[in-house]
Each structure stands twice: as C-alpha cells, then as structure tokens.
Structure 1
Amino acid sequence: MKLAAIDIGSNSIKLVVVEAASSDSFAVLAREKEVVRLGHDTLREGHLTAAAIERAAKCIGRFRSIAEARGVEQVIAIATASVREAYNAAEFIDEVLKVTGIRVEVLSGLEEARLIGLAAAQGCGMGSTSLLNIDIGGGSTEFSLVVNGVPVELFSVKLGAVGLTEQLISTDPIKPKELRAVREEIRAALERPSRELRGMMWQQATGTSGTILSVGEALRLRRLRAVSFDEQAAQPVGYEIKIDDLDRFNERMAGMNTDERRGVPGISAQRSEIIVAGGHILEGAMRALNIKVMRTCDYALREGTIINRLREMEAESRPPVPDTIDPQLRGVHAVGRRFGYEEAHAHAVAAFAEKIFDSLALHYDLSRHHRTLLSAAALLHDLGYHIASESHHKHALYLIKN
C-alpha cells in the first residue's frame, strides 16, 4: 500500500511518500520540502495572511500531484503551530480544501509530540527501550519520552525558531541584550518540561526536524575537515551533537550576520535567518535536561503520521474488542495524571462505557478506533476540574485541545 503525508509547518511544508507492508515496515519512495514561511508574522500576529495561505495551498497542490504520480491511495495532511495558533485557521483549511481537495487536520501540541515520538523511536531508536526526543519547529518545541515504543510523557511548548526570532531578534548580528532576552525566554518556556522530566531516565536522546538536523550537519561538515577518510566512512546514521560543540557553534552563529551565516556549510539561506534562535533553543533544552550528547534523526512528524495511520488501519482489520489495553491510551492516562484526574473514577467510567460499546459494536459495525476514542473521552471527561468545577466540561475541552 502506498501512502503520503504532508506536514504543514511554520517554516516549511514537507512531503513523504511510502510503500508499506506494515506499520513497522515501509520504504520511502520520495521526500520533498519547500520553505513557505506560513508562520511568518502569524506567530506574532495570530493571523495567516492571504499571501501565506496562497503559497501554502499552491505547495500542497504540487505535493498532491507528486504523490498521485507515485500511485498513492491516501494523502494525509496535518498542520502544526502556525495554523494551530491562527484565529483564521478555518479559512486556511477551507482554502486548501477548495484548491487541492485535501482536508487538513490541525494537530494539538501533544498529538504532534506523540506522533514525532513514534517516528523517532521506530526510525532512530537503535534498539533502545527508552528514548527522549526533542523536536524544534518554527512555532513550537515538542518533547517525547518513549518507552518500549509507547509515548509515556509528552510536552509541547510555544517556543520555536521562527516565532522566537520574530519576537526578540531585530539586530544582525544579534546584540548581547537581545541574546540575553532570548536565553531568558527559553529558560522560562522550558521550566515545566524540564521540571517534570527531571529525574526520569532514558537510554538515548534524539533530535528531529530542520533546526536540529541543520546544526548536526554543520557540526559534521566542520569535523570532516579535521578527520581522515577512514574516520569519515565510519560515521553511523545520524550525527552526535555534543553540548560543548553546540555551545561553540551557537557562539559562532551569534557573532555572524545573516550573510555570513549563509556561507556556513550545512546552513541553508533560509535557515541562516533563524538558526541563532533555533540553536539556542536546542542548547537550552539539552542543558535543562542534562543531555550531554544527542543523535540527530531524520524521521519526524511526516513519518510518525504514516506510522500512526498504518497502525490504525491494522487495528481496523482486527475484531472490535481488544484483548489488551490500547497503547494509544497510555498517552491519555499521562495527560490525565498531569492534570490530577481521579484515576479510579475515570477507569470506572471508561470500563462502563467500553462494556456498552462491546455489546453494540458488531450490531453497528463499530471499529477498534471508535472504541479507543470512546475510552479516551471517558478517561478525560472530568479533566476540567483542574481549572474549576463550574463548566468543567468546557475546561476539559480546552485542556485536551491545548
């Protein structure tokens, strides 16, 4: 089966086309990327401009043509921070549907983190039973702790390379005062994930998406000039980013203007404009979590979307009543515990709802996916009490969506 996923990010739009035998076995047929800057001004103003929507729709249409030329059976399009934070997101979704025929799904930050975690664990886990992945996008940064292939701790913070650049950096090269403000903003934004992940253990740390891959590539190319051919050939998949090397890299980038950064091998012209912010977000995250070494990973949200869809299709083909706890619900439990839900009560409500579902599933042709959605709703139905008892159902919706 051939599938395609389109990742609509704040800085770029990316396509992957795969041919899959199963959720853990697929071959990548094509990858495409186009810098659209959908999040330019959006993350600051909260509004997607008509020009940005037009650029994005045109790119998505082109990617659909590429996918169809490869014979795909399904195209999945997902959008992240730039659309998630825009008050005219519905306008964007409608325009893309009208122009391309593709309906875009806007992901919550936690769902984005979950899908990225699935991808990193499957594509770059290298046999590790536990992995912490960091993904720095244009408008947000996601943290995914994955144990035995299952995301168990997920965080999404509104801190991205594009948004931070637009918000705090106006000088070129960046002046010390602005750099201090950037570091303070990063420290404040990462306080919660660093506090809640502190003390947890993982065997491997990985990093995904453009900023981290660019940093890794720039460090790799710089190192190549100092090693022998045999050492170059021995490099494994991915590149290790060491915190001391990253510190020196960030110091170099901050001392250059944009034109000078464009000349650094591994840093593209577009990336040169946001690499100061992106590199400092990465350094801040690694220091906050005491990560000395991180390995880059070229699997990310696109691949996670594919893996997730294939798993859903596999689940649909099985009987509606599962014989084990759905792994997707482990992430739901993690959200519930984070906001102090009454676990015993939530389990009781979910068990009762599942019992009713199981008695009706075959009669109404309901699937395992429907059961998972019902279970998740039952587990989180009282989540809003974390904010207030009055209108707690509305507060629950807010917490789940954000």
Structure 2
Amino acid sequence: MRLGVLDIGSNTGHLLVVDAHRGAAPLPAFSYKEPLRLAEHLDETGAVSQKGIDALAAFTSQAQQVAEEKGCEDMLAFATSAVRDAVNSDAVLAEIDERTGLPIEVLSGDDEARLTFLAVRRWLGWSAGHLWVFDIGGGSLEMAGGADEEPEVAWSLPLGAARLARQHFDVDRPDEDAVRALRKQIRADIARDAGRMLRHGAPDHAAATSKTFRSLARICGAAPSAEGPLVPRSLPVSELSEWIPKLVAMNRDELAHLPGVSASRAHQIVPGALVAEAVMDIFELPALEICPWALREGVILERLDQIGGLA
C-alpha cells in the first residue's frame, strides 16, 4: 500500500510518501518538505504564534494535495515537541483540523523514543544485540535502550538543537561563557537520568539518528548522503571533540558552508554538537553509528504491524 507520513517537527514539516508492505522495508517514493521552524514561532508565553499556525495550516493543506496526487491510500500525521510543548497545543491542533480536515496526533516524548528505537532495531537487525539509540531533534533529545523491539527504557529531554539555539545563542557567534554554561546544563540534564540506561549494562551496539547527528558525522568525515543509505557512517567522539572549538569560533555563514550543513540549520550546529558530545561522554561511547531510519520509519513500521495483526 502507498502511505503518506506527515511529520510536523520542530524544524521541518515533512511528507514522506512510501510504498509499504508488512515484512518489507518501507520504500520512499516521494518527499515533500518545508522549513516551518515551529520551535522559533513560539512567543514569550510559549504559545505557537498565529504566523506559525498559518504556516502549518498551509503546509498541511499542500501536503494533503501532494499525497492525493501521488496516490496515497492513507495518511499518518503526527507532531512532535514544538506542538507538544506549546501552551496552546490543543488550540493549534483544533484550528489545523478545522482548516484542513486532517487530525494530527501529538506523540509523547517517550513514544518518539520508542518508535525511533523500533526503526533502528529493524534497520540493524537482531545482530545488534543490546541496543542504545539516541536522536537529537529540533525540540528534544530522545534516548532508548533494550535487547528487543520494545525498548526497556525510553525517554525524552528538552535538549533539541533548535530549542537550545533559540534559548541560549541569540547572537551570531556565542562567547565562551555562554558555551560553557550551556555545556554544563546539557550534561547535568542528561546525567540526571542516565542510570536508567546504564543499570542494564553496556550496549552491544550504539546508534544515532536525525539530521543533527548526520550533519555532525558529515563534518567529521562521514560519506555524503549522495552515496546512499547502505554506506556505513559513524560519529567518533574524539573527532567531534576536536571540531567543537572550531565550530564555536565560526560565524553562521562559515558554518553553513560546512559539508552536510544547511543555511537554515547552521545556528543549531553548536548546541547540537554539545548535546552529541555529552551523550557520548556520559554514556562512555567512543562512537555512534548513524542509522538512516528514524521516527518516520518507526511510525510506518508500527502501523504495518497493526494492520498485519488485524488481518
């Protein structure tokens, strides 16, 4: 069957059209996305502004049209931390439903972590053994670990790259004190609950997903996306640590010219790098394998499992 998966993230709205069948890998057929930047459309009260709502409604309407033109039988629409954490979340969803007729499900942080873990487990397979998975999004950091398809632990922290950039780096090039303060905060937040995963023992395999991790891996020498998803890619903590002072010293134009970095996300690279480094240091991981599957694939796989269970 052909599915449309509409992912309303903190940075981007992304419609992925896939040909999906139970027991087979979801095959991407078409992709349509726009840089909504909902995390940056929050006012001082924490509400999504009307400008943000209008942008989301316009994108959702266009995505529905694209999905129809591409022959989608069904549409799975979900939103993550930017909508989830907004104080007017219910009002935003109600207005989008009224204007477009498409209900959007808001995933909890734990569900984001759980579904991302499912996607990575299916990609890597059972040979990955006891698996740890990390995902830096625009609004949140997801972490999960376990030996099965359902993780033993899964949780989310408000440490997304866009959120941290908005809250802490409102200038082109942050000073050393700002970087040091943010680094300290990130590590304290991650370490607070790190024992939830550490008490289960070291992993056989540790993986990362998301645009932030992919960009950092590319900066550190990983193969470009043009070489395809089957090329192994990893992010070594030693190389990332060497790069961070260089990244801090760059302005946004310089960051935007790095391999794997888009101009719209250049301001998020430094906070994203600080989160990635903290994850690897606190969990004592020398490197993370970059997995091409993430939350969207997890949503698709769970839906296919549910359809198969009803057959």
Would the TM-score normalized by the shorter structure come out above 0.5? yes
Alpha-carbon offset, residue 150 of structure 1:
2.4
- The SS at the match of 1:274 is helix
Q: Hey, what does 1:341 align to over in structure 2?
A: none
State TM-score, norm by structure 2.
Answer: 0.92
Unaligned runs of 5+ in 2: none
- Change in 2 beyond 3 A, CA 1:233/1:34: closer
- Higher Cα Rg, which structure: 1
- Distance, in Å, in 2 between the alignment partners of 1:234 and 1:61 is 31
Q: Alpha carbon RMSD of aligned pairs, Å?
A: 2.2
Match of 2:302 among 281, 304, 308: 308
- Change in 2 beyond 3 A, CA 1:47/1:66: same
Alpha-carbon offset, residue 23 of structure 1:
5.0
- Distance, in Å, in 1 between the alignment partners of 2:86 and 2:272 is 22
- Distance, in Å, in 1 between the alignment partners of 2:45 and 2:184 is 22
Alpha-carbon offset, residue 238 of structure 1:
4.0
Residue by residue over 1:353-392, the C-alpha shift from the partner in whole angstroms, topping out at 9 and shown as x without a partner, is: xxxxxxxxxxxxxxxxxxxxxxxxxxxxxxxxxxxxxxxx
- Distance, in Å, in 1 between the alignment partners of 2:75 and 2:285 is 37
Q: Hey, what does 2:204 align to over in structure 1?
A: 203
Alpha-carbon offset, residue 44 of structure 1:
6.3
- The SS at the match of 1:294 is strand
- Distance, in Å, in 2 between the alignment partners of 1:219 and 1:103 is 40
- The SS at the match of 1:39 is helix
Alpha-carbon offset, residue 309 of structure 1:
0.9
Percent identity for Structure 1 against Structure 2: 31
2:235, 2:289 within 8 Å by CA — same for their partners in 1? yes
| Correspondence 1:161 to 2:161 | yes
Alpha-carbon offset, residue 194 of structure 1:
1.7
| Correspondence 1:299 to 2:293 | yes
Q: Hey, what does 2:176 align to over in structure 1?
A: 176
State TM-score, norm by structure 1.
Answer: 0.72
Q: Hey, what does 1:16 align to over in structure 2?
A: 16
| Correspondence 1:55 to 2:51 | no
Q: Hey, what does 1:122 align to over in structure 2?
A: 122
Unaligned runs of 5+ in 1: 225-231, 318-402
- Change in 2 beyond 3 A, CA 1:41/1:53: closer
- Distance, in Å, in 1 between the alignment partners of 2:75 and 2:228 is 37
| Correspondence 1:240 to 2:234 | yes
Residue by residue over 1:4-49, the C-alpha shift from the partner in whole angstroms, topping out at 9 and shown as x without a partner, is: 2111111111222111220543322123332110111528641000
Q: Hey, what does 2:218 align to over in structure 1?
A: 217
Q: Hey, what does 2:284 align to over in structure 1?
A: 290
- Distance, in Å, in 2 between the alignment partners of 1:8 and 1:124 is 26
Residue by residue over 1:51-107, the C-alpha shift from the partner in whole angstroms, topping out at 9 and shown as x without a partner, is: 111111211222222222221111011111111111111221122212322100011
1:110, 1:154 within 8 Å by CA — same for their partners in 2? yes
- Distance, in Å, in 1 between the alignment partners of 2:243 and 2:16 is 30
- The SS at the match of 2:231 is coil
AA partner of residue 244 (structure 1): S
Alpha-carbon offset, residue 202 of structure 1:
1.7
- Change in 2 beyond 3 A, CA 1:103/1:234: closer
